Structure 1
Amino acid sequence: MIEERLGAVFAAAGAEGRLHAVDVDGPCPPEPMGRGGGAGAGRRQGPEAGSGRGYGVGLGADDPVVIASVFKVLLVLEFARQVSAGQLDPRERVRIRAEHRLGGWGTAGCADDAELSLRDLAFFALSVSDNTAADLLMERVGLDTVRMLAAELGLAATRLTGGPRQVLEAMLAEVGARDETEFAAVYPALTAGQVGRLSVLDPARTNASTPRDITRLLRLIWCDLAGPADACAFVRDLMARQVFRHRLVSGFPDEASVAAKTGTLPGLHIEAGVVTYPDGGRYAVAVFARTPDLATSRTGTDAAIGRAARIAVDHLRTV
């Protein structure tokens, strides 16, 4: 069975996996209603349009999972919707100072102050998973509105507790570190059990969803049903410009294009995106791998994400 093949891929990499994959152009999710309603007006609905159950390929597709930086897709989508509605000027400038920097890629790791537009914060948040850019964008967009968006889109299993700063502050507090430098010094001495109890690794206490909810979000974006068409196109374009190519991309032929968003935390290796083939086939895939060791870089696990995604998509293309 397909589930056994998928499970074997993760087991061979020493990981536990959760996955959902679905044909973007198969039976459509229901049209979202509420703020920005009508974005998909007139679109024909297919069978099983309500829950999405009964089609697609899954391995623990409805299990709660930590989504880490994949939440940035929802954040940037809400930003793009507010821009489309005239509520935000994408050219508005933001000064990024030392107190804003959280560490990591992009402006998060800058040594000096920088200034960007809101639109460029969104670009950095998705293309290089810039935590500082996402944090500042969240301040401007509003956590409550992002939560409202998740509810509006029917992401019933998705819960958001905060942005990157809240995640970082929770990690620091739980290990008794005052800042990132102190955390980096303390972390190597922590046992696997201590790290495993961190709230950021627990779907019940941090930003979380299910693989099926995430592929639903992607399908709505790719079908222009997650908001105005220009907002959906903005998110698709930025996801296509992600620089990280070691997970989903590794499993697919060169002629297939992948637009995706990674997520990484100790022991968690995640990527969700849409794979498009030259024949027009489009497949939304969300893969979550958890490893007993807490390294954030594991080549074997990253490759397993690509292999499992390819198996699932190949199955969808042949059934």
Structure 2
Amino acid sequence: MVEERIREVFARAGAEGLLHAVPVVGRPQAEEGAEVAVGADEPVVIASVFKVLLVLEFARQVAAGQLDPRERVRVTAADRLGGWGTAGCADDVELSLRDLAFFAISVSDNSAADLLLARVGLDTVRLLAGELGLDRTRIVGGPRDVLESMLAEVGARDEAEFALRYPALPDERKRRLSVLDPARTNSSTPREITGLLRLIWRDEAGPAAACAQVRELMARQVFRHRLVSGFPDEVTVGAKTGTLPGLHMEAGVVGYPDGSRYAVSVFARTRELAASRPAVDAAIGATARIAVDFLRSKGV
């Protein structure tokens, strides 16, 4: 069975994996309801995959004339969270709202995402999830909320103190952090994430212009080590990664030259609480390919 093959690939990489794959635009002989599901309805931490929903809400507000995408924002030292993009800059940066959206998706810039969330509103992002029927998707806050919860739980006053305390914690204590618990942080299910992507790719998640903007930004993501690694060069991938200690994930849509499109979401958990696991990243691409190949073999 295809599900067993997927589980075996993750097991060889030292991980447990959940996956959902479904056609977005199938071939003419597509079978209605076709899917590949491995734990597709289990709750999962979505980490930075949440930024897809955030940027979709931003794009909808721009399309509705509620926001000017050219509005300028200054990213200061107080806004920096570390990592990619403006989050790791040494000096203040000024850019537009639409460039915040670009950085939030393309390089998973946490500071950009936080500032964008402050502008569009946390409540509106939550309302959007409900409007789209994502009943099991839970949004508690942005990257700064995640960081502050980690600092509080470890008893650190700032990131520097956290960096000193965290490595000394036993793994059992680390695993109890709220950021790794779907019941206490941003979470969803693999099925709901592919459902969100299908709506975006079908122009059903809002105005066509808003959906197109999200698709274009996801196609510009710079990270190529997960979903992209499983597919040949002629296949396009628009996706968003997410990473936390012991959690590796990516959700996206793969497109073939024949016009067919498939939404795939993959969530992997490892025993070791490391943020970098190349074998697991490769397994995400390999299992996505297995799932999509299965759907295509059935004429979907």
TM-score, normalising length: structure 2:
0.97
Map of 1:87-126 to 2, 5 A cutoff?
Answer: 87-126=66-105
Matches within 5 A, 1:24-173: 24-26=24-26, 54-173=33-152
In structure 2, what residue type is equivalent to 1:273?
Answer: G
* Identity over aligned pairs, percent: 77
Q: Which residue of 2 aligns with 1:31?
A: none
Residues 243-298 of structure 1: CA deviation (Å, up to 9, x unaligned): 00000000001110110000000000000000001111100000000000011000
Q: What letter matches 2:273 in structure 1?
A: L
The alpha-carbon deviation at position 26 of structure 1 amounts to 4.8
Residue 316 of structure 1 pairs with residue 278 of structure 2: no
Q: Which runs of 5+ in 1 are unaligned?
A: 28-45, 49-53
Are 2:243 and 1:245 equivalent residues in the alignment?
no
Partner of residue 298, structure 1 = 277
Please list the CA deviations of residues 79-109 of structure 1 after superposition, one character each: whole Å capped at 9, or x if unmatched.
0000000000000000111001111100000
In structure 2, the residue matched to 1:20 is: 20
Q: Which residue of 1 aligns with 2:248?
A: 269
Q: Secondary structure at the match of 1:177?
A: coil
**Aligned residue identity for 1:192:** D
Does the residue aligned with 1:20 lie in a helix, a strand or coil? strand
Task: Find the counterpart in structure 1 of residue 196 from structure 2.
Answer: 217
Residue 181 of structure 1: how far off its partner (Å) = 1.1
Deviations 1:169-193 (A, max 9, x none): 0011101111111111112111110
2:195 and 2:26 mapped to 1: Cα distance? 12
Tell me the SS of whatever aligns to 2:156: coil
Distance 2:105 2:179 in 1: 20
Q: What are the Cα deviations for residues 198-246 of structure 1, in whole angstroms up to 9, with x where unaligned? A: 0000000000000000000000000000000000000000000000000
Give SS of 1:24's match: strand
Name the CA distance, whole Å, in 2 between partners of 1:98 and 1:219: 38
Q: Which runs of 4+ in 1 moved over 6 A?
A: none
Q: How many residues were matched structurally?
A: 296
2:153 matched to 1:183? no
Structure 1 position 174 matched with structure 2 position 131: no
Distance 1:56 1:26 in 2: 11
User: Given residue 127 of structure 2, which amino acid in structure 1 is its aligned partner?
Assistant: M
Say which SS state the counterpart of residue 25 (structure 2) adopts: coil
1:45-79 CA-partner distances (Å, limit 9, x unpaired): x997xxxxx53101000000000000000000000
Structural RMSD (CA): 1.3
In the alignment, the residues of structure 2 paired with residue 276 and residue 228 of structure 1 have an alpha-carbon distance, to the nearest angstrom, of 22
Q: Which runs of 5+ in 2 are unaligned?
A: none
